[in-house]
Structure 1
Amino acid sequence: MSNFLSIACWRSCDIRIMAIECLVLGAGQEVGKSCVVVNLNGKKIMFDCGMHMGYHDHRRYPDFSLISKSSDFDRELTCIIITHFHLDHIGALPYFTEVCGYSGPIYMTYPTKALAPLMLEDYRKVMVDRMGGKEQFTSDHIVACMEKVIPVDLKQTVQVDEDLEFRAYYAGHVIGAAMFYASVGDAKIVYTGDYNMTPDRHLGAAQIDRLQLDLLITESTYATTVRDSKYAREREFLKAVHKCISGGGKVLIPTFALGRAQELCILLEDYWERMNLKVPIYFSAGLTIQANMYSKMLISWTSQKVKEAFTTRNAFDFKHVLIVL
């Protein structure tokens, strides 16, 4: 199947005024390695630059040679826009900038810029220091890469050059995640990245203005999956945990340190408080300390419920959850 998608549009006056071409380098018919290059009226934007966690060979990264055979990426790309800090959306960025040589503008939200180095360095340590894998990028590469990043606020109109502008919109999913609207002349698109249309315990639902678009590129991993409601799943989860500890057992919950872990901690914290449980909850370290610290600092990116309660209590100051160093 071709990596290219071309769209040419005409208005009623039969004058061609815009053209869009998409080069899908990752996350097309697969989960992971998100990377889409959109040619918007001659301006090329790379949306996300992720890695595929299931591969340890050349398939780990997008095939950047499809952008430029001569590897002159600064000439080919107008900018890079990163939606959030998960490795399948940002994991290849240090490799692309410090090894492949891209030095143009890179945009992401302030929280993403703060949290991305933690994810990238943790991945490097696990793959290289612990598992002895081949080093694709170094700690210095991560630092140098992040120095190139220009952070943006939600709904801030960013003028990349005289033709290209974009805005970020709240996506939910994880702290700092954003959907991006971009326009060049009359050509207008939205790239969603990963988003969540229902609020959870620490993040709000995705929000975006009503926009007239020529193209929408959206995440659709679970688009055809019908799942039980979040509350039903939480109820079953808590019931299983309670049953285990009531019988003297221990519960081990593997989870991501950033995002999902904070959601689980709030869920368990509320349940422990409500049920007056005394069984200790231990949270192993790793990225935990930094993740919780940033969660406390980035309250403005959380759900309305967390923000409203912040005046009396920070939802990430856990009473029942103990961090193990």
Structure 2
Amino acid sequence: MPDIKVVPLGAGQDVGRSCILISLGGKNVMLDCGMHMGFNDDRRFPDFSYVTGGKGRLTEYIDCVIISHFHLDHCGALPYMSEMVGYDGPIYMTHPTKAIAPILLEDYRKITVDKKGEVNFFTSQMIKDCMKKVVTANLHQTIYVDEELQIKAYYAGHVLGAGMFYIRAGTESVLYTGDYNMTPDRHLGAAWVDKCRPTLLITESTYATTIRDSKRCRERDFLKKVHETIDKGGKVLIPVFALGRAQELCILLESYWDRMNLRVPIYFSTGLTEKATNYYKLFITWTNQKIKSTFVDRNLFDFKHIKPFNRTLIENPGPMVVFATPGMLHSGLSLEIFKKWCTSDKNTIIMPGYCVAGTVGHKILSGMRKIELQPGKVVEIKMQVQYMSFSAHADAKGIMQLTRMCEPEHVLLVHGEAKKMEFLKAKINHELGLECFNPANGETCVISSKPCVPVDMSLKLLKHKTEIVDTATPNPKCSKIIHGALLMKDNKIRLLEQDEALQELGLPKHDLRFTSTVELQNACRSEKLTMTRLYEHLKQLLRSHSVNTTSDGHILIESVLLKVQKDSETAMDVSDDFNTHEDDSPASKSILVSWPYQDEDLGSYLMEVLKNGLPKSVTKLPVH
């Protein structure tokens, strides 16, 4: 079987621009196609020339593309890849991802092209044309890309519609997690996968070294910080992405405002609240059980304390809480508000999720207090900066939990920082005994595997044809040999009882026998006398076996047959203490030993007995 090859074009020892190429069973699959939020040049998109070599379209090299969820670091390069580089094959994603991804792509395109005037970027029409190539996947539905390649989606939590994908070709399989969360929250459930035992698990490792506090503690600290800031008349900025953590924190603040009877306004980026509500209504089955059970009576996303935000409110005096997009402060409304509010020490910014290197969010979280927010203009950051992890990524404990859950043969880490990956890699190797890889971008990782071929077994064979080999073992049930026929038919392999296999194939029954010749020199003149002497001799030596003579004068030792005939072959001298009789003559005689294949051990043992117990010269010829 061919090895599995993995090449990250993005997210290799890095967070952002997820794009992983895998080759298994002769098939090539692209996992995610994202952009890097930390760059505004060619590094923003994956280098697809690695695949094509600058020649031809990607369609010629890739069998299918799989998108795990709608975040732009996982799908942002999709229109560029399909419409500008050139890909006409299928693109698989879940229904919510197909609905939400084009809206986020269009929003980002407007910011990038309309405001910054960038060229070599995809257009609105390219987004529409790209989405026409999408094939939607339901959870747990096996989709056959072709006769040899199949995929299946599992629930990943993280955001609405996020999926983990199981890919199988031949006997090789890969489980790709995308981003996932092993902890249920206020609106989504925890990721789940069955014991699919993939050859390779490719898992994100964003929080490879982090074990989070309890969810209740994080929520308490978040509410406390917000309340402290508005109490002293400050403003709170919470950068979020449009769907996901935004709804989680909105539900949390909504219930807190009710309990505390607060009147301080909470704002959300214009239009996103309505869109979010519509999507959660449409895809209610992707939410957790509490949302589903209360949805008929009350929509938890119809917020009474949270109002739409517009830019005129930025300069308003007095306390307020604002949710603004995007979540990493790399552009958009959140960055615009940050520029206005960052110079006051009364204000607070709470970063609830991971920020990619190169973004303003990453800079302030790393401790920078003087940042060039505009060309030639350095701003001093006086507002309080708080990081509170509400990110819907699995922490180190969750990654280990998923790995145990699916029982892979090998593990490969992506979407994480190199140093953190090394820590988790050692942990997986030590605690789980699994080989673990963490290739960098552009590095080819080869995973060798021992394919396991499943065989269906006849119930009749299981009941009647098993024999214990070693009863001295602690558990004899685990040490059995099964004699049967391995039948390959209709792309299936089955182990059947011999009679069943012959009947199914329409073949007559026949015996396969092994035959050897033992030649005697200076043996008895009479074949009958020779057989009599052999019978008495073997009866004494083989007391544990059934030794009888047949009606035609042959000796039958269980199912091994001996007979004497006059023809002979060239003999080889073997000394022996057996006394020759007076009627011995120099004439040579042959003893033919024949046994069915099931009794090969007895036949071989008998040959040794004859060799050591016959007169003067014995030759053992090869088995025929």
Cα distance in 1 for partners of 2:128, 2:122 equals 11
Q: Which amino acid aligns with 2:223?
A: L
Per-residue deviation, 1:279: 2.4
- Which residue does the alignment assign to 1:291? 276
Per-residue deviation, 1:144: 0.6
**2:144 matches 1:162:** no
- Which residue does the alignment assign to 2:20? 36
- Of 36, 52, 55, the residue aligned with 1:68 is 52
Structure 1 contact 124–135 (Cα < 8 Å) conserved: no
Cα distance in 1 for partners of 2:65, 2:285 equals 25
Per-residue deviation, 1:215: 0.3
Cα distance in 2 for partners of 1:29, 1:303 equals 32
**TM-score normalised over the length of structure 1:** 0.91
Q: Deviations over 1:156-179 (max 9, x none)?
A: 110100000110000000000000
- Of 10, 19, 22, the residue aligned with 1:26 is 10
Cα RMSD for the two superposed structures: 1.4
Q: Secondary structure at the match of 2:125?
A: helix
Per-residue deviation, 1:276: 2.3
Q: Deviations over 1:253-302 (max 9, x none)?
A: 22212212111111111111222223222212154432332123221111
Cα distance in 2 for partners of 1:249, 1:314 equals 31
CA 306–170 in structure 1, closer or farther in 2 if over 3 Å, else same: same
Cα distance in 1 for partners of 2:267, 2:174 equals 45
- Which residue does the alignment assign to 2:159? 174
Q: Deviations over 1:207-253 (max 9, x none)?
A: 11111111000000111123322221211110111122233333222
- Which residue does the alignment assign to 1:9? none
Q: Deviations over 1:40-78 (max 9, x none)?
A: 111111000011111111111111111121133112110
Cα distance in 2 for partners of 1:89, 1:249 equals 35
How many residue pairs get aligned? The number is 309
Q: Which amino acid aligns with 2:8?
A: V
- Which residue does the alignment assign to 2:80? 95
Structure 1 contact 128–135 (Cα < 8 Å) conserved: no
Q: Secondary structure at the match of 1:218?
A: strand
Structure 1 contact 51–92 (Cα < 8 Å) conserved: yes
- Of 152, 156, 163, the residue aligned with 2:137 is 152
Q: Which amino acid aligns with 1:205?
A: A
% same residue:
61
Structure 1 contact 23–36 (Cα < 8 Å) conserved: yes
Q: Which amino acid aligns with 1:187?
A: E
**2:205 matches 1:220:** yes
- Which residue does the alignment assign to 2:180? 195
Cα distance in 2 for partners of 1:247, 1:100 equals 54
Per-residue deviation, 1:183: 0.6
Q: What does 1:252-291 align with in structure 2 at a 5 Å threshold?
A: 252-285=237-270, 287-291=272-276
Structure 1 contact 118–287 (Cα < 8 Å) conserved: no
Structure 1 contact 296–316 (Cα < 8 Å) conserved: no
Structure 1 contact 167–180 (Cα < 8 Å) conserved: yes
- Which residue does the alignment assign to 1:109? 94
Q: Which amino acid aligns with 1:149?
A: V
Q: Secondary structure at the match of 1:251?
A: strand
Q: Secondary structure at the match of 1:258?
A: coil
Structure 1 contact 108–150 (Cα < 8 Å) conserved: yes
Q: Secondary structure at the match of 1:202?
A: coil
Cα distance in 2 for partners of 1:319, 1:288 equals 12
Structure 1 contact 109–153 (Cα < 8 Å) conserved: yes
Structure 2 contact 271–308 (Cα < 8 Å) conserved: no
- Which residue does the alignment assign to 1:8? none
Structure 1 contact 168–180 (Cα < 8 Å) conserved: yes
Q: Secondary structure at the match of 2:227?
A: helix
Structure 2 contact 2–26 (Cα < 8 Å) conserved: no
Q: Which amino acid aligns with 2:3?
A: A
Q: Deviations over 1:3-24 (max 9, x none)?
A: xxxxxxxxxxxxxx34211121
Per-residue deviation, 1:124: 0.5
CA 292–310 in structure 1, closer or farther in 2 if over 3 Å, else same: closer
Q: Which amino acid aligns with 2:266?
A: I
Q: Which amino acid aligns with 1:46?
A: M
- Of 153, 166, 170, the residue aligned with 1:185 is 170
CA 71–291 in structure 1, closer or farther in 2 if over 3 Å, else same: farther
Higher relative contact order (CA 8 A, sep 6+): 2
Structure 1 contact 197–205 (Cα < 8 Å) conserved: yes
- Of 30, 51, 54, the residue aligned with 2:35 is 51
Structure 1 contact 172–196 (Cα < 8 Å) conserved: yes
Per-residue deviation, 1:79: 0.3
Structure 1 contact 18–186 (Cα < 8 Å) conserved: no
Per-residue deviation, 1:140: 0.6
Q: Pick which of 240-249 and 313-322 moved more.
A: 240-249
Which blocks of at least 5 consecutive residues in structure 2 are unaligned? 311-624
Q: Secondary structure at the match of 2:237?
A: coil
Cα distance in 1 for partners of 2:117, 2:273 equals 24
- Which residue does the alignment assign to 2:346? none
Q: Which amino acid aligns with 1:295?
A: Y
**TM-score normalised over the length of structure 2:** 0.48
Q: Which has the larger radius of gyration?
A: 2
Cα distance in 2 for partners of 1:228, 1:240 equals 16
**2:303 matches 1:318:** yes
